[in-house]
Amino acid sequence: MTEPNLIGGLIGGGLIGLASLLLLAVNGRIAGISGILGGLVTGGMPGDRLWRSAFLAGLVAGAGAYALVRGGLPLHFQAQGLLLIVAGLLVGFGTRIGSGCTSGHGVCGLARRSSRSLLATMTFIFVAVITVFLYRHVFR
């Protein structure tokens, strides 16, 4: 197991908070990534395509900038291929069921003191703990 990158985490967390704050201040919108992507895919409201595309492009550009500065991304996948695709689809399905994702509920919702977001975030964390436990200790 590798040591955590605390400085990188602080910088990344600060940038996520700043991006969420700017989106709310400039557009009056909550930075829920699944909702932003879903609105782009389904068409959303007229005139929404530009800001949604720019926000998502910024996510990719941020990862690209990190990769350029650090010489690569710190990605450590223990699963590959079909398992990653199924996991991604399950996450997308879960965000639809939960009416939001960790960015919308965990970052923006908690900052607005939403009790619904607190419950959703606690559920995300609980399910993540159970999933990791099952993956590492039961199915291996």
DSSP string, 68-86: HHHTS-----SS-THHHHH
For residue 118, give every residue at least 6 positions away whose Cβ sits within 8 Å of its Cβ, in sequence order, or none: 109, 110
pLDDT, one tens digit for every residue, the chain (140 residues): 466 668 877 888 888 889 888 988 988 888 888 888 888 888 777 788 888 999 899 888 988 888 888 887 777 666 678 888 888 888 878 777 777 777 788 888 888 888 988 998 898 889 889 988 998 899 87
Q: Compute φ and ψ for 37, nearest 5 degrees.
A: -65, -45
pLDDT score of 3: 64
Please report, for the chain, the start and end positions of each structural domain, with discontinuous segments joined by +.
1-76, 77-140
Instruction: Indicate the pTM of the whole model.
Output: 0.71
pLDDT score of 36: 85
pLDDT score of 104: 80
Cα gap 131→135, rounded to integer Å: 6
Give pairs for 73-81: CB < 8 Å, separation 24+: 74/2, 74/5, 74/8, 76/2
pLDDT score of 4: 66
- Tokens coding 58: 């910024």
